[in-house]
């Protein structure tokens, strides 16, 4: 640290030390936000799917895209909900 200027040393000193077994709380906060956004997106997607299914002749391509997007969002929700 001898070659660092005062500003650089202050910057390095302000970075918290993360131990191997500690989880940074910022990651947990980020995961919570992503989970909330994913749940909201799934709710909106569900409304779209219900409206399309009510039609006498639903658009097959839209239904296929609906299920694909549902699986992506569901995976993301489960991924950020994991405790690893």
Predicted confidence (pLDDT) per residue in 29-67, tens digit? 889 999 999 999 999 999 999 999 899 999 999 999 999
Q: How far is CA 68 from CA 4, 46, 47, 51, 71, in A?
A: 51, 13, 15, 17, 5
pTM passes above 0.75: no
Q: How far is CA 14 from CA 9, 11, 17, 20, in A?
A: 9, 5, 9, 19
**Structural domain boundaries in the chain:** 21-81
CB 12 within 8 A of CB 4: yes
**pLDDT value for 71:** 95
Helix axes 60-81, 25-53, angle to 10 degrees: 160
Higher local confidence (pLDDT), 66 or 13: 66
Answer yes or no: is pLDDT of 16 > 90. no
């Amino acid at each position: 640290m001898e070659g660092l200027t005062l500003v650089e040393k202050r910057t390095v000193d302000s970075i918290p030390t993360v131990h191997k077994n500690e989880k940074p709380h910022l990651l947990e906060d980020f995961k919570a936000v992503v989970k909330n956004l994913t749940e909201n997106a799934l709710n909106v997607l569900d409304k779209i799917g219900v409206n399309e299914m009510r039609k006498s002749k639903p658009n097959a391509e839209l239904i296929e895209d609906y299920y694909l997007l549902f699986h992506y969002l569901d995976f993301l929700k489960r991924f950020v909900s994991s405790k690893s």
